[in-house]
């Protein structure tokens, strides 16, 4: 319970796994660069570039040149991870993070993702709705 969210935890795991450890343990072949830290896997948001638990991020895949929110994490192929937040979506778009993360030539349509993100209820922002009590 002493952990502070803001504190940069020195993760030795962030260093590239040395080739010295020639596959003795950890037979898992990670498809992404994300390294599982402790219990939950951590991914980097393609928008704000901060690390977050995979469960806190929206997985996004590309289908026919269009970005789709993979809500159930079942779609095949590469996935990009994004905070379900418009700010992060805008950031990701601006720096063309999706084509890069998904290894496809851009540009990619993001209307579906945008619509999805806009519809997510945000419990932290009750104040946005004035005059209801």
Q: Which residues bind Zn ion (CB under 5 A)?
A: 45, 47-48, 83, 88
Q: Which is nearer to Zn ion, 47 or 69 (CB)?
A: 47
Shortest Å distance, C-beta 59 to Zn ion: 13
Q: Which residue has the tokens 């996004």?
A: 60
In angstroms, rounded to a whole number, what is the distance separating the alpha carbons of residues 109 and 68?
Answer: 9
Instruction: Name residue, tokens 């993760």.
Output: 11
Residue 68 vs 117, nearer CB to Zn ion: 117
For residue 29, the minimal CB distance to Zn ion (Å) is: 26
Residue among 17 and 53 whose Cβ is closer to Zn ion: 53
Task: Quote the CA–CA distance of 117 and 94 in Å, as a whole number.
Answer: 17
Please, what is the minimum distance in Å from the beta carbon of residue 89 to Zn ion? 9
User: DSSP assignment of 13-37, as one string?
Assistant: GGSPPPTTS-SSS-----SSS--B-
């Amino acid at each position: 319970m002493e952990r502070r969210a803001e504190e940069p935890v020195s993760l030795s795991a962030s260093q590239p796994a040395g080739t010295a450890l020639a596959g003795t343990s950890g037979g898992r072949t990670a498809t992404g660069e994300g390294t599982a830290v402790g219990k939950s896997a951590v991914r980097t948001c393609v928008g704000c570039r901060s690390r977050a638990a995979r469960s806190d991020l929206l997985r996004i895949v590309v289908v026919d040149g269009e970005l789709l929110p993979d809500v159930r994490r079942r779609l095949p192929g590469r996935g990009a991870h994004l905070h379900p937040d418009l700010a992060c979506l805008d950031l990701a778009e601006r720096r063309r993070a999706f084509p890069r993360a998904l290894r496809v030539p851009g540009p990619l349509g993001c209307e579906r993702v945008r619509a999805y993100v806009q519809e997510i209820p945000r419990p932290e922002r009750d104040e946005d709705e004035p005059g209801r009590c």
